[in-house]
Every structure is written in structure tokens, then in C-alpha cells.
Amino acid sequence: MSTTLAHRWSVGIDLHKDTLTACVYCSCCGEVRFQKLACRSRKQVAEFFASLPKPHVVAIEAVGFYRWLWEMLEPLVDKLVLADATQARALAGRRMKTDREDAQNIAELLACGRLPVAYAPDFEVQVLRDCSRQRNALSRQHAHILCRAKSVMNANNRPGPARMDSARLIRYLKAFEHKLPERHGRYLWQCVDQLVLIERQLSHLEHELERLLARPNFAPTAAIVSSFPGVGLVTAATVLAEVGDFGRFTYRKAITRYGGFDPRTFDSADKQRTGHISKRGPSNLRWVLGQAAWTAVRLDPHVKRIWLRISRKAGKKAAIVAIARRLLLWMWRAVRTGQPYRAPVVV
């Protein structure tokens, strides 16, 4: 009985779209066994992991489609972690690149406590993330259709109003359709159909974001983040969804690195220079913070002074990136201290 209790199993999973390979490894006795499963056989996958000997820890390789497996296994296994696939592979040295080798590498690193772990949001954060990403993707589609409509209008030297949506485009067509070529009028009515549908979906998603942010686990943080200039419902929801737990970042460079706002550094011999931002983090986070930065420059005199000072040396666009980075840092500090944003008083 004591020998059985001494076992502690580590399970590494190499995940692909069609198959997954699991390596079950015990650091006490060195026992290793493998199991390859088809991802479409969800019942078989669940039965295998439910039958694992206890206690055990399961590590899933971080790939873009890991979430379905995470949500399936979370109630079935003792402990679940997300492995940083790139760093885990770097620690493997010169081992062969096979599914079994990758799964065994993850299991062995997990067993000896050296596995690089990635952040896996909990279920409610994942729901907020899915909703905000869907909303932002639709917003980009909306902008793309408007650009297409504008190009058709400009081709006829009838540019229309500066700000455009489906309602304004309908009014434009009622006034000027008879002055446009028949084919261009038809294209613009197709744009109207697309815009009406997307705007209805955007409205539904924004109501959903508002409902999610009102939940007790999001409401206090959302109130602090929303206190910053240029930050509205969509920006606050996206920041909370992409950052997740602000407390996991213990120092300022950690959150700027996560957001992809850290500069690329080239250092060789006696030459050292910095390049553009790394863009390693979630693109949605940088996108909404960039939009918020432009609004903050218009609304907040303190932010505008910082932007003007930076833009004189680096240019307007680089200055906006710097403002977006500062917004993220200010939010991180405010959430950690529990204090909303207050613009400094200039005497």
C-alpha cells in the first residue's frame, strides 16, 4: 500500500487537430506508457483520462485549439496545467521531433518541476474573451465594408458624409442612387445589407459584454479600468478578457512584455540598439489600447501633453503606441492598488 501511495504520475499531452498523444510518466519508478487517441472520439478521450491512476497532474501543450480539451479534462483530472510549447521544446535539447518525444518531454519536465507554464484563463474569463474577440472581429469587418463603400462613392466623385453607417448609407443611396452607375448602386445596397446585419450583431454582443462585466468577479476591476480616459465598455471588456488576473504580473515590465509593448533589443559585441515593439502578446489588447490612446489624447490634457512631448521626437504614431503602453501600465497599477484613475492637477 505504501509503495502505491509513493507513485506520483505526470501526464504530458502532445495535441494536434486530429489526434493527441499522452505520455503517462512516474518519476518514482520511471514507468512510462503512451496512448494515442483520436480527437473526434471525445468519449474515449474522457474515459482514458478518468481512468488515470491517482494522484496525477496533466499538462496540455499550448496550441491555438487546446481549449476544448481543457474544458473536457478540468473536472476529470486531479490537476491541469498549460505547457508553454516553445519553451518546453527548447529545454528538450536535441531530442527527436515526434509526438511521443514531445509528450514525454512535457511529462518529464512536469515531473521535475521545470515545465514552463503558460496562462490558462478560467471559464468565465474565457467566455468574456470569446465574446470580446467576436465583437472586435465584427468591428473590423464593419470597417472593411465601409471602406469598400467609400471607395465606390469616391470613384463617382460623390464621397458622401465623413462618418458612415448603414442608416447614413441608406439616406445617401436614396438621394444619389439615380446619379450613380447601376452596378455601383447595386454594390452599395449589398454593403447596406452587410452593415445592417453586422450592426445588429455588434449591438447584441455589446449587450452581452455589459452583462458579463456586471458579474461580481469582473465589476470592481471593470469600474477601475473604465475610469481611464478613452476607455469604454469594449476596451474595458477586452483588457479584462486578455489580461485576466492582473495580480499574476508582479512587476511593470512583465505586463508590458505580455502585451507585446516591449521593444525588440539587438545587442552584439559593442553594438546595441532597440527596434519596434515585439507584438508578442494578444493583438486584440494592443488594438483596443491603441484606439483608446487616440481618444485619451483628445479628452485628457495630461495624456495629450505626454503625447505631444513624445511625438516631437518619435512621431505621432510611435507616440500613440507609447500612450497605449502607459495606459496598460496605469491600469495594472490602479487595479493592484484598487484606486481609479485621477488626472494630475496642473498648477
Beta partners for residue 118, in sequence order: 82
Strands 32-38 and 19-26: antiparallel
Residues 6+ apart with CB under 8 A from 222: 213, 236, 237, 240
- Read off the pLDDT of each residue in 116-124 and give the average, rounded to a whole number: 91
Percent of the chain with pLDDT over 90: 73
User: Cα(118)–Cα(110) distance, rounded to whole angstroms?
Assistant: 13
User: Cα(221)–Cα(340) distance, rounded to whole angstroms?
Assistant: 9
pLDDT for position 270? 65
pLDDT for position 81? 94
Is residue 95 very low, low, confident or very high in pLDDT (cuts 50, 70, 90)? Answer: low
Q: Answer whether 0.85 is exceeded by the pTM.
A: yes
User: Cα(142)–Cα(144) distance, rounded to whole angstroms?
Assistant: 5
| φ, ψ of residue 34 in degrees (nearest 5) | -120, 155
pLDDT for position 29? 79
Q: Are 340 and 313 in contact (CB under 8 A)?
A: no
pLDDT for position 3? 44
Listed ranges 99-103, 132-136, 280-284; the one with the highest mean pLDDT: 132-136
pLDDT for position 166? 94
User: Cα(336)–Cα(330) distance, rounded to whole angstroms?
Assistant: 10
pLDDT for position 264? 76
Place of cell 496550441: 63
Least confident of 79-93, 104-118, 125-139, 212-226: 79-93
pLDDT for position 107? 93
Is residue 85 very low, low, confident or very high in pLDDT (cuts 50, 70, 90)? Answer: confident
pLDDT for position 272? 67
pLDDT for position 94? 56
Is residue 267 very low, low, confident or very high in pLDDT (cuts 50, 70, 90)? Answer: low
Whether cis (ω within 30° of 0) applies to the bond prior to 53 is no
pLDDT for position 163? 87
Sign of the CA dihedral with 296 first, then 299, 300, and 301 last: positive
Listed by start position, the domains of the chain span 2-118, 123-215, 229-337
pLDDT for position 66? 93
3-state secondary structure the chain: CHHHHHCCEEEEEEECCCEEEEEEEECCCCCEEEEEEECCCHHHHHHHHHCCCCCEEEEEECCCCCHHHHHHHCCCCCEEEEECHHHHHHHCCCCCCCHHHHHHHHHHHHHCCCCCEECCCCHHHHHHHHHHHHHHHHHHHHHHHHHHHHHHHHHCCCCCCCCCCHHHHHHHHHHHHHHCCHHHHHHHHHHHHHHHHHHHHHHHHHHHHHHHHCCCCCHHHHHHHHCCCCCCHHHHHHHHHHHCCHHHCCCHHHHHHHHCCCEEEEEECCEEEEEEECCCCCHHHHHHHHHHHHHHHHHCHHHHHHHHHHHHHHCHHHHHHHHHHHHHHHHHHHHHHCCCCCCCCCC
Residue of higher predicted confidence among 3 and 236: 236
Topology of 2-118 in CATH?
Answer: Nucleotidyltransferase; domain 5 (3.30.420)
User: Cα(292)–Cα(294) distance, rounded to whole angstroms?
Assistant: 6
